[in-house]
Structure 1
Amino acid sequence: MKYNKVMLEEIERDILNAKYEQAAKKFKNMNNEEIHDIIWFNIADRLESLTVYGFTQYMFKKTENTIWLSLSVVIMSFTLCWMEGAYAVGIFHARELVSLEKNIDNLILLLSFYGLPERLMKEEEAESIAKEILKLDKNNEIALNVLNEVSKSK
């Protein structure tokens, strides 16, 4: 399904006005890539609005599609990270995401919280996640770097 400028403007307006049910209808026949593209690249990163996060949570509860939970994580940890508590909400959703769908992308997303000044992830958890990633991709640089960092701190 292709989307045009008018459709993007309608989705944006619906989300900003918390007309989530109206916005949801426009996503009915979209695949995960299209959903991610519209929400992340066309709306969330540009607007920096909490209503976009609210919409992703609404859609996750409505559809149980983990793409919406993944978008919640990136919105809180990148777009809205300037808000107090945003990283804590982001890591909560990242852990939830991994518990629902353990794959390399979700594990890397969770591991991205290691090393933040807020210290939301302990070294033991980071080490465990990095090892899980290496089981799936033995040469994963992100996981190898984290393991190296953790070993230096011991």
Structure 2
Amino acid sequence: MKDLIKNHVLNGEFESVKHLMAATDFLAFEEAFISSAHEQESVMYYTCLLDMIKENETSEIHDLAFLLLVYPLSDVPGALDAAYYHADASIELTGGQEVKSLLQMLLLHAIPEPVISDKQAFNTAKQILKLDPNNKVARNVLKETAKRMDQVVVDFNQITEHKDAN
């Protein structure tokens, strides 16, 4: 499937890529798409995803665009800023209720030159903990960012109680 994706994408045959995506388990498609993009780093992969978004915007395609920009295309100038756009769009489309989408934001905070601020990461981590009180990544980010923002005490019980009240 990886070679099929590569041939269709690089030839601008985006309809064929869409048909392949529709006929395949999305996670398998996502893996093959990213793997193909690793082999042939081309902005055509991103163009293909933008074409898909234009036709049918979904959080899954935004998530795939995020992965593409953070991994195979990360060296392209502006890729991480564009990844932020897609993570934010995914969060918006899921109403902030999908941990996967929220974790993408935290990845943009963990890189050597963070794309989001400590305050954004802190708030995102709190949202994740409301959905998944045991999420270790969010707990660590909350602790680290709270220290840097001089909010040294983090009450995890208060965060999880807020979830129960909703």
Specify the TM-score bucket, using the shorter chain as the normaliser.
0.7 to 0.9
Map residues 11-30 of structure 1 onto 2, 5 A cutoff.
11-30=5-24
Structure 1 position 92, deviation (Å): 1.1
Q: Which segment is superposed worse, 55-64 or 97-106?
A: 55-64
* AA aligned opposite 1:36: E
Compare CA radii of gyration and give the structure with the larger one: 2
Question: Percentage identity across aligned positions?
Answer: 27
* AA aligned opposite 2:120: E
Residue 71 (structure 1) aligned to one of 56, 64, 76: 64
Q: Distance in 2 between matches of 1:143 and 1:10?
A: 37
- TM-score, normalised via structure 2 length: 0.80
The equivalent residue for 1:118 is 113
The C-alpha deviation readout for 1:122-142, integer Å capped at 9, x for no partner, is 111111100000011112111
Structure 1 position 10, deviation (Å): 3.1
Q: How many residues align?
A: 147
Structure 2: runs of 5 or more not aligned: 150-166
The equivalent residue for 2:52 is 59
Structure 1 position 83, deviation (Å): 1.6
Structure 1: runs of 5 or more not aligned: 1-6
Contact 1:111 1:130 in 2 (8 A): yes
The equivalent residue for 1:145 is 140
- TM-score, normalised via structure 1 length: 0.85
Contact 2:58 2:93 in 1 (8 A): no
* SS at structure 2 position matched to 1:79: coil
**Cα distance change, pair 120–9 in 1 and its aligned pair in 2 (3 A):** closer
Q: Does 1:32 align with 2:26?
A: yes
Contact 2:21 2:29 in 1 (8 A): yes
Contact 1:127 1:150 in 2 (8 A): yes
Contact 1:18 1:51 in 2 (8 A): yes
